[in-house]
Chains A and B, each alone.
Chain A
């Protein structure tokens, strides 16, 4: 899909999400917050998973760290928005340090290492009871004004975060960095030989993939007012985010946003009808995605599809 069209679609989508309070029910507004939040996470994952092609499953570790860093900062008396900043920096620093170590691994080893990070951070947080409240979790002051007004505030916050990650994606996509990351994705050794500073590029991509997960996590903690280790470091989230990105089209600018929207839509439709089977539905989406949509929704040739539907085969060729 043409880049300019992707930008236009994104702008339309932002307007649609941001305007939900004016035309939709409170349920839809809440859903819009979740969509914007996951879009920011998926766009973040896209840096390492999409552009660089590294199978990172550590999103939940960054999100959870963001939750806790933000919550602890807020409890230490730092104002809310500043606390989010603290969480962002803390998560980014953690990812940069971690990335320098585990990005030396490739393939399955990297994937497993990145999952282990989620588990280790979760176990450390839940056993460090004196600081983090352990399994009991932490409470945060709720914003005043009732849940609906609060949802509106966080809608603005999450949409802003989504826009920021999108703008960075656009920048990376057009810059040297994006080019280098694509080289790494295709053939890391060749990229290295051709003079791409692969270690630096990978660490930057990994840090970018974590930075805004931290902010989103901290904002999420302030939104819900309560966090605990199981909720913050969910293994489902760590897989859902890559799946959303794969669904839309990894390594593209708009793919993560489309994937998140499509996935949430599917989830809503099925969730309402088959409450007990939400994990199986996620599983089925994965299987269908891998067999029938290998490049994601953006990779489908819509012109060819339309031509096939209407029997104009010549137009497709």
Chain B
């Protein structure tokens, strides 16, 4: 029965592009206010106009959503989507710089390719938004974080939401191979950025002291040291998190943590500082000496402490299969996190923390940015049946589907 409705659904999706109104009946709706079981949702010209039992009873496209569920579109909070095609083919890899002169100034969204094959592949499985977080190439500063929307016309919504910094063992290795040395460099850079901010004119005219970083990098750091733009720090070890919290306090920075594999060990400190955390709940291996405390209930423990979570994942598939953030979220729930917290961590939380143009919620008077799932939203057997991004229905097309169809046809003939 489920399969039959699926076929009807796929047919409907092809018709949906022209539908000015869409009615989905009887689906479980996961909104930020909680679960609305077996509810109707009515979308007119891309806007959610009514939710509940009082929706109009007919529309250009009607879908029986019984047994299905609706969430806001998935939002992966740490990807390189659109800035890499094939990881091993270096000319397609744009998310880090090997040029020492370009660190903080690097804006990853400048490299975003809206025609990347990764975009259709991910959106047909429910990914609607992603953060682009650059990686470090030569020192601690990775560059500026972008936000992209993956709709029919994929686009950069914001090109500099935060400044990314790598204080993992990897970033430290690039910066003198000692945490202590890396901190000297970091403090120096922040002090220089402050000094540059105060003496910008003279500095640009060459009438001020020299800096280690380029003017472009210093200019990029200016809003960070002035507290206007968050510093997004990737770090894992509990003591490193503590160090970064102290540094952020000293310099009066806005801070967002990323990684935080040992975050649970210092959850109270993070919570007290009111710092959101981007993390992948799947990590439970002592894969390095900075992640000895890795455990599967990290997400639950951080959430219990009152920390706002933003999910990425799953594992190394966080870009080519960025939609698998859903699998990481499901595993977090299997290990103690509430389902609503898990869904919020890949929908409304990142939208809110980064001030996206979408709410990451299902609510009346909002542009529809949602996914209709074949069953429970986190189950891996619940396929995305219908995806709306920015009010538009996404065609269920991707290079992978084309390959599949070509070879299935051949196999059927054999």
Do A and B come together as binding partners?
no
Q: Which B residues have a C-beta under 8 Å from some C-beta of A?
A: none
